[in-house]
Amino acid sequence: MAEEVKLYGTWVSPFSRRIELALKLKGVPFEYIEEDLSNKSPELLKYNPVHKKIPVLVHNGKPIAESLVILEYIDETWKNHPILPQDPYQRAMVRFWAKFIDEMVLATGWKANFGEGKEREVAIEEFAEQMKFLENELNGKDFFGGETIGFLDIVGNLIAFWFPVRQEALGIEAFTQEKFLVLFKWIANITKIDLVNECRPPREKHLAFVKARIEGLQSAPK
Amino acid sequence: MAEEVKLYGTWVSPFSRRIELALKLKGVPFEYIEEDLSNKSPELLKYNPVHKKIPVLVHNGKPIAESLVILEYIDETWKNHPILPQDPYQRAMVRFWAKFIDEMVLATGWKANFGEGKEREVAIEEFAEQMKFLENELNGKDFFGGETIGFLDIVGNLIAFWFPVRQEALGIEAFTQEKFLVLFKWIANITKIDLVNECRPPREKHLAFVKARIEGLQSAPK
């Protein structure tokens, strides 16, 4: 039976882009469906009735939601170019830091950018601490995955490409090469990989999009 | 080499209790260390410097935090009595619903109990919808794991034993047998398993603890 693999995403979401990257790393052919989040398709609502969110991967008719869950599924289903390490302890560490990025770093990054007064100051310090934890995890390696990119590099894309764009759009300098030399070296390493660049929004288009969103947020009634 | 397995937890936490249950199901001997969360031990802070929280599992000197990450580690390390299914799609579904319980249900349950006015009303409705999703997932089975308890039954303990106690302490009736017959049948099924009962707080002690905490919350300055 021919495999049918569909990915529902949006071009600007780090969460669907990471699924795209994992599929391409493994050479899995798939159909990509761009969702308009202001007018979600009946398919998306059918496939993810719980969260009604992208990304959704549909493999031979069976839907999976939640990007970290999808990444694990992809690694268990297509075994070439494993993205998780084999050792159970190393796997646990990758899962721990992926969760850390999606839960802690994302929330702190938001407050560091859009918080007000004291909340913002505290978040900027917390963000710096979180980045130091991640630098420590890189620990001299070229990639989180070691000699090549793996699960955590895919998840960390968010930090590599989405945070700098938001920062530039806001005109702030919390995440800089001077402060986070190790992470910026890692960003330089992953940027050398063609597939990584294919699976992120074009920089200028991304920046224009984020600037427009920020204007929308700032002009919204509080 | 003799295995050294240590679990740092607290008796009243559903998150450390679930680790205890997984270890006992697999027959892994371990040392349990009760943490006083108002005065955390230097070991806990050393082993979980990121979150400074229980549970932490330390296996032959190597620490792992985050209960869902620990459960995966346990299943990959001690292979008898697997708690995750073997099929990748089934595994993805278990991971999806476990995340759903720990992220969505926990937050909604809190608002349904402690929210005010409109927020509380909305949360009670959302909570009911969430319970219906879980009932649908049980889908005629005795356990989420099928014929015996698995990963999702272990995680779902929170709903089986922690929510009813909090509800009783607050004197509310949002989660009742009349409304959620399927889930209450499941609760009856897991309650027949000795290990499940061993790995939860004694009901009366638990109730007294939650009542005292609620009094503390309600008398705290807002």
222 residues of chain B, pLDDT tens digit each = 578 999 999 999 999 999 999 999 999 999 999 999 999 999 999 999 999 999 999 999 999 999 999 999 999 999 999 999 999 999 999 999 999 999 999 999 999 988 889 999 999 999 999 999 999 999 889 999 999 999 999 999 999 999 999 999 999 888 999 999 999 999 999 999 999 999 999 999 999 999 999 888 778 765
What lies within 8 Å, CB to CB, of A216 at 6+ separation is: none
Nearest CB partner across the interface for B69, out of A50, A99, A133: A99
User: By CA distance, what is A67's nearest residue in B?
Assistant: B96
**pLDDT computed for residue B217 by the predictor:** 79
- Provide φ and ψ at A11, rounded to 5°: -60, -25
Query: What is the CATH number that goes with domain A88-219?
Result: 1.20.1050.10
Contacts of A133 in chain B (CB under 8 A): 50
The answer, for B95 touching chain A at a CB cutoff of 8 Å, is yes
Contacts of A66 in chain B (CB under 8 A): 95-96, 99
User: By CA distance, what is A132's nearest residue in B?
Assistant: B50
Tokens at residue B194, please? Answer: 């000795």
Say if the Cβ atoms of B96 and A64 lie within 8 Å. Answer: yes
Q: How do beta strands A31-34 and A5-9 pair?
A: parallel
The answer, for B50 touching chain A at a CB cutoff of 8 Å, is yes
Contacts of A65 in chain B (CB under 8 A): 96
Bridge partners (DSSP) of residue B56 are B8, B65
Distance CA A56, CA B17 (A): 32
C-alpha dihedral (A197, A199, A205, A209), degrees to nearest 10: -140
Handedness of CA A150, B92, A106, A122 (dihedral sign): negative
Radius of gyration of chain B (CA): 18
Count Cβ–Cβ pairs < 8 Å, chain A vs chain B. 60
**pLDDT computed for residue A207 by the predictor:** 97
Contacts of B68 in chain A (CB under 8 A): 95, 99
What lies within 8 Å, CB to CB, of B216 at 6+ separation is: none
User: B144 in helix, strand or coil?
Assistant: coil
What lies within 8 Å, CB to CB, of A124 at 6+ separation is: A112, A174
User: By CA distance, what is A71's nearest residue in B?
Assistant: B92
Distance CA A104, CA B9 (A): 22
Using the 8-state DSSP alphabet, how is residue B81 labeled?
S
Angle between helix axes B88-99 and A67-77 (nearest 10 degrees) is: 160
Bond before B88 cis per omega within 30 degrees: no
Confidence of residue A107 (pLDDT cuts 50, 70, 90): very high
Closest CA to A142 of A84, A93, A189: A189
Query: What is the CATH number that goes with domain B5-77?
Result: 3.40.30.10
Give how far A93 is from chain B: nearest CA, Å.
7
Nearest CB partner across the interface for A64, out of B73, B77, B92: B92
**Residue spans per domain, chain A:** 5-77, 88-219
Find out whether B124 and B118 touch, Cβ atoms under 8 Å. Answer: no
The answer, for A50 touching chain B at a CB cutoff of 8 Å, is yes
Using the 8-state DSSP alphabet, how is residue B143 labeled?
B
Q: Examine the pLDDT at A40 and tell me if it is beyond 80.
A: yes
Distance CA A147, CA A150 (A): 9
**pLDDT computed for residue A42 by the predictor:** 97
Closest CA to A147 of A91, A193, A92, A95: A193
Give how far B73 is from chain A: nearest CA, Å.
6
Nearest CB partner across the interface for A50, out of B62, B66, B133: B133
**pLDDT computed for residue A219 by the predictor:** 80
**pLDDT computed for residue A218 by the predictor:** 76
Distance CA B46, CA B36 (A): 15
**pLDDT computed for residue A220 by the predictor:** 72
Bond before B42 cis per omega within 30 degrees: no
Residue A13 CA: distances (Å) to CA of B35, B50, B194: 40, 27, 46
Residues 127-146 of B with CB under 8 A from A: 133
Distance CA B159, CA B102 (A): 10
**pLDDT computed for residue A16 by the predictor:** 98
Mean pLDDT value across chain A: 95
Contacts of B92 in chain A (CB under 8 A): 64, 69-70, 72-73
Contacts of A95 in chain B (CB under 8 A): 66, 68-69, 72
